[in-house]
Chain A
Amino acid sequence: MTLIYPIASNSVHPARLSPAYRSAIKRAPTKPLIPMRHTLSELTGPVYGHETVRAHDNDLTIQAKGEPLGERIIVHGHVLDEDGRGVPNTLVELWQANACGRYIHVVDQHPAPLDPNFTGAGRTQSDAKGYYKFITIKPGAYPWGNHHNAWRPAHIHFSVFGHSFVSRLVTQMYFPGDPLFPFDPIFNSVTDAKARARMISSFDLDNTKPEWALCYRFDIVLRGRNATPMETK
């Protein structure tokens, strides 16, 4: 099976210069990007990295001596290509703030407590069907200096690879119904409402574990589709 990566699929991404996001102003190219044909250099990609995944790297609640504070959650879903096929054995990395909205990163000085039992880093690989699962703590919202009274909606950062270097994706997973959505320039840098909705996880009652943890489903769709149209099943 040969995958192709139509450039049109990129149209859902944010414009690199989204002026409401102040940090973008000096970090976005001003000259047009140059279109090029994909070669093997773009059509291949790393198919490893997952050998570094240790047994419990996908459970962020058992990395320390004690249990982290906050609301325990399950986050799971599939890494898919544009045809809806699972992307097998691909590395999925995540990082996030703790329940109070504080990152362990030394630069984060938000006056909310750090949790000695929570780093906020996790890693797993998708299975043969593209399925992945994490257990973590629901992150808190936090303020940032972009504009007056700016708060990021609660989110989890995801980093995924897929089948080629051009399917590489770094994104953020949001939670359904967040009241901060209308005010966040990063979330709204995606201008198409249906595309924005693909960044929002859905509450998954069927996989919520009774007496233990709520569950959210987040499917990640990467570039790449079959060179020839799929047969009708």
Chain B
Amino acid sequence: MPNPRPDGITPSQTVGPYFKYGLTPNGEYEWNDAFTNNLLTGDVSGERIRVEGKVYDGDGAVIPDCMLEIWQADAQGRFSDPQDARALPNSSFKGFGRCGTDKNGAYAFDTIKPGVVPDADGKPQAPHIGLAVFARGMLLHLYTRIYFEDEAGNAADSTLALVPADRRPTLIARRKAGTGNAYTFDVHLQGNNETVFFDV
């Protein structure tokens, strides 16, 4: 028996201050993690990278009770989801990660540099990672993208092109000097350096 057509979707409410023991216990609470901040699998191909940064509020204070989730393609540009029906090699890479910020507002993900995914017109997009940001004080999470400073494709990316040039740097992860494979990507919910968020 089909369900009646709903009047609309269920509204969002804040994740609140107390999600850690349920969503990001990370060894601090007796509960297993459904997801972690390490997306690497033993056989994963591609460039292994770390993406790390801090999350800031409108006063420039770090946010120690934030949860970040990422979703990305593998190095061939394929998503681990049957809805991605392109005939690309099927890797064991899952592409989803979750991380709570620590008392310094810091997060980190160990993953691989994603490959190229087509845009809505089928044109190649620059490599990017989707990022969702949740926290106490946020009634609805925010969505943005992490791009990489050393990708030539940024110049032709159709989503970056929607962003005023002076705000584009907020979407670009920077190579961290002396670390080899680490990128820095800070998130500013508000203020002069407010990160560009997308209405999706």
Contact = CB atoms under 8 A, between A and B. Distances in A.
A21 interface: yes
Interface in A167-194: 168-172, 186-187, 189-190, 194
A87 to B, nearest CB: 11
B197 A29 contact: yes
Nearest to B70: A165
A172 B13 contact: yes
A141 to B, nearest CB: 14
Contact of B11 (A45, A123, A171): A171
Contact of A16 (B138, B194, B200): B138
B29 A46 contact: no
A30 to B, nearest CB: 6
A31 B192 CA distance: 10
B89 interface: no
B194 A14 contact: no
B139 A186 contact: yes
Contact of B12 (A13, A35, A47, A97): A13
Contacts of A221: 6, 8-10
Interface string B153-193: 00000110011000100000000000000000000011000
Given A35-B198, A37-B120, A46-B95, A105 B10 contact: no
Nearest to A64: B30
B44 interface: no
Interface residues on B, range: 35 or more
Contacts of B142: 16, 29, 33
Contacts of A199: 10-11, 13
A43 interface: yes
A107 B18 contact: yes
Interface of chain A, main secondary structure: loop
A86 B3 CA distance: 8
Contacts of A107: 17-18, 65
B125 A41 contact: yes
A208 B44 CA distance: 48
Interface residues on A, range: 35 or more
Interface stretch (A65-73, A88-96, A209-217): A88-96
A157 to B, nearest CB: 6
A15 interface: yes
Contact of A166 (B29, B57, B119, B143): B143
Interface string B57-88: 11101010100010111000001111110000
Contact of A105 (B12, B21, B158): B21
Interface in B23-40: 23, 25, 29-35
B108 interface: no
A8 to B, nearest CB: 10
A196 B11 CA distance: 7
Given A41-B71, A157-B15, A233-B2, A220 B10 contact: yes
B22 interface: yes
A10 B200 CA distance: 9
A100 interface: no
Contacts of A195: 7-8, 11
Interface of A: 5, 7, 9-10, 12-16, 18, 21, 23-49, 52-54, 78, 80, 82-86, 91, 93-95, 97, 103-105, 107-108, 119-123, 155, 157, 159, 163-166, 168-172, 186-187, 189-190, 194-196, 198-199, 219-223, 230, 233
23 contacts: A13-B12, A16-B140, A16-B142, A29-B197, A30-B194, A31-B196, A32-B199, A33-B142, A40-B84, A42-B200, A46-B35, A48-B94, A49-B34, A104-B29, A107-B18, A119-B30, A120-B22, A121-B29, A157-B15, A165-B143, A172-B14, A198-B9, A198-B11
Q: Which 3 A-B pairs have the closest CB atoms?
A: A95-B22, A23-B137, A27-B137
